[in-house]
Amino acid sequence: MDRNLALEFVRVTEAAALAVAPWIGKGNEKAADHAAVESMRKAFDSIPFDGTIVIGEGERDEAPMLFIGEKVGPGKGPKIDIACDPLEGTTITALGRSEALSVIAAAEEGNFLHAPDTYMDKIAVGPTAKGVIDITKGATWNLNEVAKATKKKVSDLMVIILDRPRHQDLINEVRRAGARIRLIGDGDVSAAIATARLETGVDILMGIGGAPEGVIAAAAMRCMGGDFQGILKFRSDEERNRAKTMGITNENRIYEMNDLARGNVMFIATGITNGSYLQGVRYFAGGAHTHSVVMRSETGTIRNIEATHCFDLKPRYGW
């Protein structure tokens, strides 16, 4: 993949973030999501590539979502698979809470797992604990191993978990082991990224979230030198059958990071609301500031991009 594509894709996440920003805290999840999707779709058309959405927000009959299999871009140039979440953190955006992002992961054709819209049990850690996690061993075992790798006490570790009833047993085990917990309402892509950033104070992500977000998170961890494992968790026979049509036959398979995102991958994100890593959209008279990150697994390069957008100039993507 041309490295310049990464800098082109950041324009797409910026456009989506700017389109969502007027809906922060207004309680309208559908309007915020619609704004992100439509703006991202339009922005893709300005980039010279032949793109296919392999991880999106829904199936073809759930338009206006960027559906799995949708073609994006003008159709000329390199063939690129796209895993995206135009608005990662729909609920937290509607409520005006932190850690909402617009996210894209990109890879050459065939290098992302074609994951159905189901759940995935996940574990993610930063570079200092790479290679020591095992999703089959349980929370206590993993906490002890991460503590050894990071030269911390288990009681010093911070575990980030989605605040869901399904995680009550996991939460109880983590507390019995002595680790600290940060419960989040949404946004487990940003939570996975947090494990690889020392300034966030987060050591490990655990729990069940969306499988599409798992693929995107794995791409980010590839770029940041962290580690990720996941196991698909189907909720119905319909999901199992759909997964089989996508080539997934072993529902108990443990997916390593490189199984989910192979080859040279790029990860691009723009903050929508303020987070532990990225700042959200900040308005000034006549425009707004955005904060984005662009990562490439091939080089390990991580670029932070602060951009100033002047609304007096004609907007291109609907914001």
CATH code, 288: 3.30.540.10
Same domain? 182 vs 225: yes
Specify the pLDDT at position 65.
72
Q: What is the pLDDT of residues 199-256, one digit of tens each?
A: 999 999 999 999 989 999 999 999 999 999 999 999 999 889 888 888 888 989 999 9
Q: What is the pLDDT of residues 16-63, one digit of tens each?
A: 999 999 999 999 999 999 999 999 999 999 999 999 999 886 554 454
pTM for the structure as a whole = 0.91
* Burial profile 33-70: b = 16 or more Cβ within 10 angstroms, e = fewer: bbbbbbbbbbbbeebebebbbbbbbbeeeeeebbbbeb
Residue 316 inside a domain? The answer is no
Domain enclosing residue 52, as ranges: 4-112+265-310
Cα 4 from Cα 35, distance rounded (Å): 26
Taking every pair of C-alpha atoms in the chain, what is the biggest distance, in angstroms?
56
Q: Indicate the pLDDT class of residue 115, thresholds 50, 70 and 90.
A: confident
CATH number for 243: 3.40.190.90
Q: What is the pLDDT of residues 62-77, one digit of tens each?
A: 545 788 889 999 999 9
Same domain? 59 vs 91: yes
Residue 56 inside a domain? The answer is yes
